[in-house]
């Protein structure tokens, strides 16, 4: 009897071991290649342009890149330590005086660069700044993912006000001064008047995962869609259409305009693209460590 029990125990242990080996082998086949160090260090999310100089907010570099004169340099590199300035850089914009603004969720802050150094504006009164837009008079609008609101900072002020409860992700102010919002609600694209009252432009869910919007002088809105690997165009009075889709884009996020045409940054391919009027992309520059 004892021998029978021992024999059964041995067979059971061998069976478990064989099963474990099979599971490990299957997991190894299904496993994705390890992330390379470069991919950990670089994740550009947003782009802003002032004249011929581009600024790129990089979440994993903890700072901002500067592209000028055909060369890439660091405007600012923060610390990987949480709750330090620009540790979680998400968005970049240019204010009415040409200063660089940066949104950082680690310190819940909007920074203005003065003499190459980031200076906090609000005293940590922002939650998770996903996008920044600036009006001609200097009013700053912030899409706050944590509060699900558009926040407003008056010119030369540190006071943060709740402006509109529209669950925003992306913002832009067009050439006429209208504030546009990419919303995570069913009405995915809105405009806001001076009192924060919303008017739906896209009234039903159309985009898959929209990030940001830029609007040209003709009133055409361009929306980046990460899941679709696409850029949508929304022409007044018409249904939204896919303007460009697929390679070389993999996850388009940040968007702005240069010469009234879209400029897009993609964090997965780590490149900034310029688009022609007929929706043809060219690489403007690549984000890469030297």
Mean pLDDT within 143-163: 97
Rounded to whole angstroms, the Cα distance separating 159 from 141 reads 12
Q: Residue 132 belongs to a domain with what CATH number?
A: 2.120.10.30
pLDDT digit string, tens, across residues 45-86? 999 999 999 999 999 999 999 999 999 999 999 999 999 999
36 assigned to some structural domain: no
Q: What pLDDT was estimated at residue 11?
A: 54
Confidence of residue 229 (pLDDT cuts 50, 70, 90): very high
- Residue 159 sits in the same domain as residue 118: yes
119: pLDDT strictly greater than 80: yes
- Residue 74 sits in the same domain as residue 180: yes
pLDDT digit string, tens, across residues 256-281? 999 999 999 999 999 999 999 999 99
- Residue 109 sits in the same domain as residue 219: yes
> What would the two tokens of residue 202 be?
């896209």
186: pLDDT strictly greater than 60: yes
Mean pLDDT within 125-138: 97
What residue numbers bound the domain in which 223 lies? 43-286
Confidence of residue 2 (pLDDT cuts 50, 70, 90): very low
* H/E run at residue 27: helix 2-30
Q: Reduced to 3 states, what is the DSSP secondary structure of residue 25? A: helix
């Amino acid at each position: 009897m004892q021998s029978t029990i021992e024999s059964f125990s041995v067979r059971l242990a061998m069976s478990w071991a064989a099963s474990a080996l099979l599971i490990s082998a299957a997991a190894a086949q299904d496993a994705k290649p390890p992330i390379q160090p470069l991919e950990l260090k670089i994740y550009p999310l947003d782009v802003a342009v002032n004249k011929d100089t581009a600024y790129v907010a990089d979440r994993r570099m903890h700072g901002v890149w500067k592209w000028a004169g055909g060369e890439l340099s660091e405007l600012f590199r923060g610390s990987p330590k949480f709750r330090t300035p620009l540790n979680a850089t998400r968005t970049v914009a240019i204010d009415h005086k040409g200063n660089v603004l940066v949104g950082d969720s680690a310190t819940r802050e909007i920074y203005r660069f003065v003499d190459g150094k980031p200076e906090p504006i609000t005293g940590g009164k922002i939650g998770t700044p996903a996008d920044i837009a600036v009006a001609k008079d200097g009013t700053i609008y912030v899409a706050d993912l944590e509060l699900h609101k558009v926040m407003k900072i008056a010119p030369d002020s540190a006071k943060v006000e709740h402006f509109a409860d529209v669950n925003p992700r992306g913002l832009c102010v067009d050439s006429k001064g209208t504030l546009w919002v990419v919303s995570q609600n069913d009405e995915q694209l809105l405009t806001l008047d001076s009192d924060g009252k919303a008017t739906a432009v896209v009234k039903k869910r159309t985009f898959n995962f929209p990030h940001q919007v830029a609007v040209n002088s003709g009133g055409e809105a361009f929306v980046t869609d990460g899941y679709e690997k696409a850029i949508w165009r929304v022409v007044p009075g018409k249904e939204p259409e896919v303007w460009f889709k697929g390679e070389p884009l993999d996850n388009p996020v940040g968007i702005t305009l240069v010469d009234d045409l879209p400029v897009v940054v993609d964090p997965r391919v780590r490149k900034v693209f310029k688009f022609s009027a007929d929706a043809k992309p060219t690489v403007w520059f690549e984000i890469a460590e030297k």
